C-alpha cells in the first residue's frame, strides 16, 4: 500500500485488520515513506519484522485492490492464500499505455493553460510540452534513475519544448500574447500532488513521521522541478510578468472552464492508474468543484476562501463516494485537488527568489501560501467529521 502511494494511517488500519484475522495480537505498526516495522504477538511469542518499501510511486488501482483484499479476506486466512492474492495484484499490468498517459497529460497541460488565462496558441504549446515532458519522465523512470534528477530533466524538456514552439510560432506570425501562463502550465503535471495530499491526511491522523517524510519528498520534488524551470528561464530569458487573461463571453468561459477542469482531473486520474469509473468520477468532481471555486472568485470572493469551499466540496464528495461505493478517498480527492493547486504562484515564487526580485517573490509566495492553506483546511474540514 505504501509503495502504491496510500496514506500511512489507512495502511496501518488495513494491516492491523489483516493481522487480527490471522490470529495475531498486540499489533504495533511503524511506517515511514520507505520503511515498515511491525511487532505482534503470536502463539510462540513476540515477532518483529521490518521491510524496505522501495521507491515511492502512485497506483490508485493497486490501492483499491489491496483495500478490497483486506476487507474481503476470510477469517483465519493462510499465509499462502494471502501471498497468492498479493502476487496476483502485484503482477497486474497498468491500465493505460505510456502513449495514452502522455497524450492525456498533454490535454491536461492545455487545460491548465486555459484555466490560468492563456489563449489557444499557448494552450497548444503547453499541451505539446507537457506531453513530451511526461513521456521523457516515464522513459527515464523505467531506467530507475534518481527521481529528483528525472523531475528536473522533465521540467527542462517540457518548458524547453514550449519555448521552442513559441519561437516557431513567432516565425510564422503567431505571437504568444500570454506567454507566462502557458510556460508555467507546461510543467504543472510535475507537481507531486499525491505525496503532498497523502502527507496532509497523515498529519490529520497523527501519523507524523510518515507525514513529514512524505512532505519532505514532495518539497524536494518541487525544488527539482523549479531548478529545471530556472535553467530554461535563464537560457531563454523568459519574462514571468503576469498578463491579462483572454476575454470571452461569460457563458462560453464557463463552458470552456468545465471542459478544461474535466479533462485535467481525468488525465491525472489516468496518470495515477485509476479505473475508468474513478477517472470519470474524478473528472466530474473536478468539473463541479473547480467550477464552484472559479465562480465564487468571479463574484468577488478572494482566491483563498474560494479555494477552501472548492476543497471542502471535494472532501465531502470523496467521503460519500467512499462510504457508498467503497472507492478510495485519496484516489478521488487527489486528481481533483491538483488542478486547484496554485502551481503558477509556487514556481513563480521560487524562480523570482532565485533572481533576486524579492517584492514580486514575496507577493507570489503570499498568494501561494494562502491558497494552499485554504485547500488544506477545506480537505481537513471534510475529514474531521469522517472519523472518530
Each residue's pLDDT tens digit, 131-154: 999 999 999 988 888 999 999 999
More confident residue, 146 or 343: 146
248/357 Cα distance (integer angstroms): 32
More confident residue, 365 or 155: 155
Residue found under cell 496476483: 88
In the sheet where 25-31 sits, what is the strand order? 25-31, 35-42, 45-52
162/150 Cα distance (integer angstroms): 18
Give the three-class secondary structure for 35. strand
pTM value is: 0.85
* Mean local confidence (pLDDT), 25-29: 88
105/89 Cα distance (integer angstroms): 26
pLDDT of 300 higher than 60: yes
Confidence tier at 242 by pLDDT (50, 70, 90)? low
Burial track 36-60 (b if 16+ CB lie within 10 A, e otherwise): bebebeeeeeeeeeeeebeebbbbb
In a 10 Å sphere around its CB, with 0-12 CB exposed, 13-18 middle and 19+ buried, how is residue 82 labelled? middle
H or E segment and range at residue 294: helix 276-298
Backbone angles phi, psi at 300, to 5 degrees: 115, -5
Give the three-class secondary structure for 269. helix
Segment 74-128, tens digit of pLDDT: 777 788 888 898 999 888 888 888 889 999 999 999 988 888 888 888 888 999 9
- pLDDT value at residue 388: 55
State the pairing for strand pair 35-42/45-52: antiparallel
Amino acid at each position: 500500500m505504501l509503495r502504491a502511494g496510500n496514506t500511512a494511517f489507512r495502511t496501518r488500519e488495513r494491516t492491523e485488520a489483516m493481522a487480527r484475522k490471522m490470529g495475531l495480537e498486540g499489533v504495533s505498526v511503524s511506517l515511514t515513506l520507505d520503511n515498515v516495522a511491525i511487532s505482534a504477538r503470536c502463539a510462540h511469542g513476540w515477532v518483529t519484522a521490518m521491510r524496505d518499501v522501495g521507491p515511492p510511486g502512485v497506483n490508485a488501482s493497486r490501492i483499491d485492490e489491496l483495500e478490497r483484499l483486506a476487507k474481503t479476506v476470510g477469517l483465519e486466512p493462510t499465509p499462502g492464500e494471502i501471498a497468492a492474492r498479493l502476487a496476483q495484484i502485484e503482477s497486474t499490468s497498468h491500465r493505460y499505455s505510456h502513449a495514452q498517459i502522455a497524450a492525456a497529460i498533454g490535454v491536461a497541460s492545455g487545460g491548465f493553460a486555459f484555466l490560468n488565462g492563456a489563449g489557444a496558441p499557448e494552450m497548444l504549446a503547453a499541451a505539446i510540452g507537457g506531453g513530451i515532458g511526461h513521456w521523457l519522465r516515464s522513459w527515464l523512470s523505467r531506467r530507475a534513475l534518481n527521481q529528483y534528477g528525472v523531475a528536473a530533466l522533465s521540467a527542462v524538456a517540457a518548458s524547453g519544448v514550449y519555448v521552442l514552439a513559441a519561437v516557431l510560432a513567432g516565425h510564422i506570425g503567431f505571437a504568444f500574447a500570454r506567454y507566462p501562463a502557458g510556460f508555467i502550465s507546461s510543467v504543472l503535471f510535475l507537481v507531486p500532488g499525491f505525496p503532498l495530499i497523502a502527507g496532509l491526511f497523515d498529519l490529520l491522523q497523527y501519523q507524523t513521521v510518515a507525514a513529514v517524510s512524505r512532505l519532505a519528498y514532495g518539497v524536494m520534488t518541487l525544488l527539482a522541478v523549479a531548478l529545471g524551470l530556472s535553467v530554461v528561464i535563464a537560457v531563454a530569458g523568459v519574462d514571468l510578468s503576469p498578463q491579462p487573461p483572454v476575454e470571452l463571453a461569460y457563458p462560453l468561459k464557463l463552458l470552456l472552464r468545465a471542459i478544461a477542469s474535466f479533462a485535467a482531473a481525468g488525465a491525472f486520474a489516468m496518470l495515477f492508474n485509476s479505473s475508468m469509473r474513478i477517472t470519470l468520477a474524478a473528472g466530474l468532481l473536478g468539473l463541479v468543484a473547480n467550477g464552484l471555486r472559479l465562480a465564487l472568485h468571479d463574484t468577488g470572493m478572494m482566491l483563498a476562501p474560494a479555494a477552501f469551499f472548492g476543497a471542502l466540496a471535494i472532501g465531502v464528495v470523496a467521503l460519500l463516494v467512499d462510504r457508498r461505493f467503497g472507492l478510495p478517498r485519496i484516489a478521488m480527492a487527489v486528481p481533483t485537488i491538483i488542478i486547484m493547486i496554485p502551481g503558477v504562484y509556487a514556481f513563480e515564487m521560487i524562480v523570482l527568489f532565485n533572481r533576486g526580485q524579492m517584492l514580486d517573490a514575496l507577493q507570489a509566495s503570499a498568494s501561494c501560501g494562502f491558497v494552499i492553506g485554504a485547500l488544506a483546511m477545506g480537505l481537513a474540514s471534510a475529514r474531521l467529521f469522517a472519523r472518530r
